[in-house]
Chain A
């Protein structure tokens, strides 16, 4: 059974009583352990698709199943609890909380669990170790480079050991070297830690790191490719 199953998902936004379609009857199946790249021009609906998978937006029609859960039918409260257990989200602009240290940023999702302080510390240090920033636990985001900030954000995304990692243009704000490091890290998470990853990107070089790439255009899947590279 596929980990992610989208069936005829349509999403439209209302602007001044007019429906603006963003996604049109999209169906995707993503097996566990996949590293899927989503490409497409601006406005093609790739970020919307990612938001739907993350459960932070709801489809206008269609169904989304992730694991055993039909997330399109969950209440807001249940959806929030589900996100905290199953989703790790990596943003283009890192979105770390500036007043929290790297350690505290990574610990943030664990505050929602029943883990003890010591257990939380162990989890955070493991996650920071995986992204290679154990020595930066006390640094604030402003004291880190862009690449380091994104690696802390990745640590935050993996600290709860989620079912699915979603990355929205994770290298969009980075220089080539840092972008390469972040992509290598994502690849490692996929290959070594068997994390299922869906990554939205504009960058063909980034897409090359994915096992599989799907193209979206004007809200519909126009092309499906087998693993690249």
Chain B
């Protein structure tokens, strides 16, 4: 402990340089923790997906639809236990900037197959019985102040749904019981939308329940075989793959964000290392004096390395604290595409560990330089 004062005094020698070094580590750790949180958010939906739900989409792309006749064929496929369907509606609430996910679903089967959408029996009935009713996630309700009974008007976002605005009544506010369903979405009756669509009887995707995860691959293949060589070929995959396909619309995020984080960290490592090496060079005489007083080279190494570690850890604490404060579900609203993003304790610990690694690695060369200093040569330089 008696040497801590020495390390602190040394770090305060050039306040501006120390501040900049601490800030560079803080920014690197902030970015790292934030990017990790974003990646976790993107992956959480896929990770939490059900292993007994499979999803059928058009083989060409998710943006193309299928006829309702596909549903009847799917329902009778061996191994299919239950089935529902949905369409991406893409409606606009007042302003395109108010983006959130809104789906047209077959309410009864959809709620049956997604127990993660938590409603009371009364709320469920109220939604099912009102053709223009809708349910909204509690996150979305909080964001726009929606309450049960409110009227919500969505402008048409995709021309196939006509030109007239759609009016809905909020029948319930659901809670999310798992990351597979976010709390930022709005769902309403598929029939209501289909009635006003320019092309009737179209479905965006089917969700199929199988009794056992082992059956998923077999049932998926059987479904796709049914529509092979038809004008509307299908691609059936696990819900996890389906969730990932949403994420993959943004490109290879893991690689992209991971690369950015790595580049930032490595750059910071070099910046911090160079700054500390400069600081050691400036202190050559002082280090030589301390060695003359009897400080062993090992202790000089620890003092210099400790200084680097201290700066990096202070930067790390600052970085994760700011990341925790700023990166929360309210900061980035992905409109239900991905579950809420927030820097969690795991992200913070990884960020702190990273700052320790930066501190240790950045201090290694300067500390070695300092400990190997030849006293006589160092004193002669100033004499």
Q: A83-B294, A108-B290, A111-B2 are in contact. Are A99 and B375 (CB under 8 A)?
A: no
Decide yes or no whether B285 CB sits under 8 A from chain A. Answer: yes
Decide yes or no whether A95 CB sits under 8 A from chain B. Answer: yes
Decide yes or no whether A89 CB sits under 8 A from chain B. Answer: yes
The docked-state distance in angstroms from the alpha carbon of A112 to that of B303 is: 13
Judge whether B376 and A89 touch: CB under 8 Å: no
* A-B contacts, 7 listed (Cβ < 8 Å): A77-B297, A81-B296, A87-B294, A93-B383, A95-B285, A97-B289, A108-B290
Partner of A56, one of B3, B13, B291, B298: B291
A74 to chain B, nearest CB (A): 12
Partner of B294, one of A47, A51, A91, A112: A112
Judge whether B294 and A54 touch: CB under 8 Å: no
A14 to chain B, nearest CB (A): 12
Judge whether B290 and A54 touch: CB under 8 Å: no
Q: A76-B297, A80-B294 are in contact. Are A51 and B6 (CB under 8 A)?
A: no
B82 to chain A, nearest CB (A): 73
Among all A-B residue pairs, the 3 with the closest Cβ atoms: A84-B294, A83-B294, A56-B375
| Number of chain B residues close to chain A: CB under 8 A | 26
- Taking CB atoms, residues of chain A closer than 8 Å to B292 are 54, 56, 83, 87, 89
- Taking CB atoms, residues of chain A closer than 8 Å to B379 are 56, 91
The docked-state distance in angstroms from the alpha carbon of A109 to that of B299 is: 13
Partner of A80, one of B3, B10, B289, B291: B291
- Taking CB atoms, residues of chain A closer than 8 Å to B2 are 111, 117
Question: Can you name the residue of chain A whose Cβ is closest to the Cβ of B283?
Answer: A97
A68 to chain B, nearest CB (A): 18
Within 8 A of A (CB), among B269-299: 285-286, 289-299
Decide yes or no whether B12 CB sits under 8 A from chain A. Answer: yes
- Taking CB atoms, residues of chain A closer than 8 Å to B375 are 51, 56-57
Question: Can you name the residue of chain B whose Cβ is closest to the Cβ of A162?
Answer: B294
Within 8 A of A (CB), among B232-276: none
Question: Can you name the residue of chain A whose Cβ is closest to the Cβ of B290?
Answer: A108
Judge whether A99 and B376 touch: CB under 8 Å: no
B370 to chain A, nearest CB (A): 14
Judge whether A112 and B295 touch: CB under 8 Å: yes
The docked-state distance in angstroms from the alpha carbon of A87 to that of B10 is: 25
- Taking CB atoms, residues of chain B closer than 8 Å to A202 are none
Decide yes or no whether B63 CB sits under 8 A from chain A. Answer: no
Judge whether A51 and B293 touch: CB under 8 Å: no
Partner of A97, one of B3, B286, B294, B298: B286
Decide yes or no whether B226 CB sits under 8 A from chain A. Answer: no
Q: Mark B191-223, 1 if CB is under 8 A from A, else 0.
A: 000000000000000000000000000000000
B188 to chain A, nearest CB (A): 68
- Taking CB atoms, residues of chain A closer than 8 Å to B285 are 95
Judge whether B295 and A99 touch: CB under 8 Å: no
Q: Is the interface on chain A under 10, 10 to 19, 20 to 34, or 35 or more residues?
A: 20 to 34
Q: Which residues of A contact B (CB under 8 A)?
A: 47, 51, 54, 56-57, 76-77, 80-85, 87, 89, 91-93, 95, 97-100, 104, 108-109, 111-112, 117, 156
Judge whether B9 and A100 touch: CB under 8 Å: yes
Q: Mark B11-40, 1 if CB is under 8 A from A, else 0.
A: 011000000000000000000000000000
**Beyond the given A56-B292, A56-B379, A91-B289, could you list 5 further A-B residue pairs with CB under 8 A, ordered by the A residue number?**
A77-B296, A80-B294, A83-B293, A93-B382, A93-B383
The docked-state distance in angstroms from the alpha carbon of A84 to that of B285 is: 18
- Taking CB atoms, residues of chain B closer than 8 Å to A117 are 2
Judge whether B296 and A95 touch: CB under 8 Å: no
Judge whether A99 and B12 touch: CB under 8 Å: yes
Q: Which residues of B contact A (CB under 8 A)?
A: 2-3, 5-6, 9-10, 12-13, 285-286, 289-299, 375-376, 379, 382-383
Partner of B9, one of A56, A77, A95, A104: A104
- Taking CB atoms, residues of chain B closer than 8 Å to A98 are 13
Q: A95-B286, A97-B286 are in contact. Are A109 and B9 (CB under 8 A)?
A: no
The docked-state distance in angstroms from the alpha carbon of A47 to that of B382 is: 14
The docked-state distance in angstroms from the alpha carbon of A98 to that of B2 is: 18
- Taking CB atoms, residues of chain A closer than 8 Å to B12 are 99
The docked-state distance in angstroms from the alpha carbon of A174 to that of B291 is: 25
Judge whether A56 and B376 touch: CB under 8 Å: yes
Which residue of B2, B6, B10, B292 has the most chain A CB atoms within 10 A of its CB atom? B292
B296 to chain A, nearest CB (A): 4
- Taking CB atoms, residues of chain A closer than 8 Å to B286 are 95, 97
Question: Can you name the residue of chain A whose Cβ is closest to the Cβ of B13?
Answer: A99
A89 to chain B, nearest CB (A): 5
Judge whether B289 and A85 touch: CB under 8 Å: no
The docked-state distance in angstroms from the alpha carbon of A108 to that of B5 is: 11
The docked-state distance in angstroms from the alpha carbon of A156 to that of B292 is: 12
A46 to chain B, nearest CB (A): 12
The docked-state distance in angstroms from the alpha carbon of A51 to that of B375 is: 9
- Taking CB atoms, residues of chain B closer than 8 Å to A109 are 293-294
Partner of B10, one of A93, A99, A112: A99
The docked-state distance in angstroms from the alpha carbon of A87 to that of B3 is: 21
A198 to chain B, nearest CB (A): 15
Which residue of A81, A82, A108 has the most chain B CB atoms within 10 A of its CB atom? A108
Judge whether A84 and B376 touch: CB under 8 Å: no
- Taking CB atoms, residues of chain B closer than 8 Å to A76 are 296-297
Question: Can you name the residue of chain A whose Cβ is closest to the Cβ of B9?
Answer: A99
The docked-state distance in angstroms from the alpha carbon of A194 to that of B145 is: 87
The docked-state distance in angstroms from the alpha carbon of A5 to that of B236 is: 93
The docked-state distance in angstroms from the alpha carbon of A165 to that of B5 is: 28
Which residue of B3, B10, B296 has the most chain A CB atoms within 10 A of its CB atom? B296
